[in-house]
Structure 1
Amino acid sequence: MTISDAEFRQLREFIHAHTGIALSEHKKALVCSRLSKRLRHHGLPRYSDYYVLLVENDPEGMELMAMINAITTNKTDFFREPHHFRFLAEQVFPAYKQNPHRERPLRMWSAAASTGEEAYSLAMTAREAMPSFNEQDIRILATDIDTDVLSRAASGIYTRAQASQIPEALLRRYFLKGQDGHAGEVMAKPLLKSLVHFHWLNLLEDPWPMQEKFDVIFCRNVLIYFDKPTQQKLFQRLAGVLRKDGYLMLGHSEAMHGWDNIFKPAGYSIYQCRGKKIT
């Protein structure tokens, strides 16, 4: 099943409008591969027919959601880019714990949570640094645009291979070994799961539903999929939901340019919000 240039342009514009994902010409094969299952599912011979389905015959948005789930990339690992977690453990969490005037709870947001490894890594790091703190003291919001990965994340179940990046001591402390039909898997313990709340969110949604500001935001390996205007708007909105002196973590291949008045570098791919009014 092949996709024509015209069909690719139609779908590329549709995907950008609904997700912010900017697909270059060399992504045509990727789009063809990831959406071919949806065409087969509906018995459609051409990508132009699938576009018509999305635009004219999907009033409930069910196929839109299935398309988004198919097109998004969900690469993640436990403790990926570990310097971010070290920064939290060595600087952010101790300072928060020792601050007698701290606002409670400590709020963190994993803005592209995928299958949950990042959010649970945040939860483990927070508990290790502040063992007496519970779900009343630590709140982690984990969001993603892909409903399939969110469902898996909420289950807290991972293969031993997926959990291989978790230090053995933390694995024993925060996960249960699977038995019988779940042999070879691990599942997050209720204590760990109680700190993380998974919700669907499209970052293009305006306004965001969150009412409280965050102390820490992880928005890693997201900006690389957006064009410059979408990136700039996202930076502005992230600054608007960060507390003064809160931290924004980006992916190692992402950088922030032109926002020195709002953010200051605090480490490699770590930025601290200056708390200035955004105009």
Structure 2
Amino acid sequence: MDQPRRPASPASEAAGDYSIRKEEFRAFQDLIHRESGIFLADHKLALLGGRLHARLRALGMTSYGEYFKAVQKDEAERIEMLDRISTNETHFFREPHQFEFLKTRVLPRWVEDAQAGRRPRSIRVWSAACSTGEEPYSIAMLLLDQLPASEGWSIEILGTDISTRVLQKAKDALWRIEKAEEIPTPYLKAFMLEGTGPEKGKMKAGPEIRSLVSFSRMNLNSRPYPVPGGFDIIFCRNVLIYFNTATKAGVVEELLAHLAPSGLLLLGHAESLHGLTEQARSVGPTIYAPLQSTYFSGQRLPRLR
């Protein structure tokens, strides 16, 4: 593993052969799993090589073994490595049925309870894999529209991700203008700004929604989580699919521990809590409530059709 080798030729790079050896891949596979919970299956060997190859070149290294030694010793480089191997695909208002569920089934109930003095006019939401920010800002638009500050509502949204690179983009809150197509027109007009001058062709989140969201780096595989619990909603979408069963169960247990008794956990469309926990129950497609919660009962909240 420690023998230096020449970098792959341009021709081999174009063909997708990044010359990472199987024993090198195994070492990275184990390290990445320990650090992040992400398990790279054996067929991801070329993918890993491709994502790390540019970093080796930037550091003037000639082998993946040399780079592996570097990430073992240097925490900052480990973070850089995890940035490069993490998948960060996201969209505004992704999984639209979940936003519709919140808008039509959940938020009216919370307004009713607040008016009756059964709950405070405050909402805490956690976007546990926020990527470049589309998810937490989508949440901010929905909540600010339905629970306005003028009616005494306080909204706090936390966005976390393992990747420092995408977190910086989320903090910048700046996207190409084509992303506007993903946002309902009333929200687009109310909460987004169109870029001019050097920012022409881009859009930026307006100050109203930016003020609701804070960002922090967090590794879901490092437990316990360093955030106070009691979240009304936790979004953890399209993350569990990258973990093995044991890691999934540990993450779910910790997320549920951070959920308010009347809160909701929202997963991605390809994810389920089946076989991972008995401490939550489904109240809608990919939407879960704590098992002991009576807040979202069949009588009080009809099933989605």
The TM-score, its normalising length taken from structure 2, stands at 0.86
Distance verdict in 2 for CA 1:271–1:143, change over 3 Å:
same
Moved more, 11-20 or 155-164: 155-164
Show CA shifts across 1:84-139 (max 9, x none).
11111111111111112213421110000000000000011111212346896111
Corresponding residue for residue 68 of structure 2: 51
How far apart, CA to CA, are the structure 2 residues paired with 1:240 and 1:127?
26
Aligned with residue 90 of structure 1, among 99, 104, 117:
104
Moved more, 116-125 or 155-164: 155-164
How far apart, CA to CA, are the structure 1 residues paired with 2:161 and 2:289?
23
SS at match of 1:75: coil
Task: Give 1:68's aligned amino acid.
Answer: L
Aligned with residue 131 of structure 2, among 114, 120, 144:
114
Corresponding residue for residue 25 of structure 2: 8
In structure 2, runs of 5+ residues without a counterpart are: 1-7, 9-18, 294-305
Task: Give 2:30's aligned amino acid.
Answer: E
How far apart, CA to CA, are the structure 2 residues paired with 1:119 and 1:143?
10
Aligned with residue 75 of structure 1, among 89, 94, 97:
89
The TM-score, its normalising length taken from structure 1, stands at 0.94
Distance verdict in 2 for CA 1:187–1:8, change over 3 Å:
same
How far apart, CA to CA, are the structure 2 residues paired with 1:271 and 1:224?
17
Please report how far the alpha carbon of residue 239 of structure 1 lies from its aligned counterpart in structure 2 after TM superposition.
1.0
Distance verdict in 2 for CA 1:186–1:87, change over 3 Å:
same
Matches within 5 A, 1:162-181: 162-181=179-198
Task: Give 2:195's aligned amino acid.
Answer: G
- The answer to whether structure 1 residue 215 and structure 2 residue 232 are counterparts is yes
- The answer to whether structure 1 residue 239 and structure 2 residue 217 are counterparts is no
Task: Give 1:23's aligned amino acid.
Answer: L
Moved more, 187-196 or 128-137: 128-137
- The answer to whether structure 1 residue 66 and structure 2 residue 74 are counterparts is no
Aligned with residue 199 of structure 2, among 182, 185, 201:
182
SS at match of 1:153: helix
Distance verdict in 2 for CA 1:145–1:135, change over 3 Å:
farther
Show CA shifts across 1:219-270 (max 9, x none).
0000000011000111111111111121111111111123564111111111
In structure 1, runs of 5+ residues without a counterpart are: none
How far apart, CA to CA, are the structure 1 residues paired with 2:23 and 2:284?
44
Structure 1 segments of 4+ aligned residues over 3 angstroms from their partners:
132-136, 258-261
The answer on whether the counterparts of 1:244 and 1:274 sit within 8 Å (CA) in structure 2 is no
How far apart, CA to CA, are the structure 1 residues paired with 2:110 and 2:206?
25
Which structure is larger by alpha-carbon Rg, 1 or 2?
2
Distance verdict in 2 for CA 1:261–1:13, change over 3 Å:
closer
Q: State percent identity of aligned pairs.
A: 40
How far apart, CA to CA, are the structure 1 residues paired with 2:119 and 2:82?
39
The answer on whether the counterparts of 2:229 and 2:260 sit within 8 Å (CA) in structure 1 is no
Equivalent pairs, count: 273
Corresponding residue for residue 52 of structure 2: 35
Q: CA RMSD in A?
A: 1.6
How far apart, CA to CA, are the structure 1 residues paired with 2:183 and 2:30?
39
Corresponding residue for residue 248 of structure 1: 265
Task: Give 2:105's aligned amino acid.
Answer: Q
Distance verdict in 2 for CA 1:184–1:268, change over 3 Å:
same
The answer on whether the counterparts of 1:245 and 1:275 sit within 8 Å (CA) in structure 2 is no
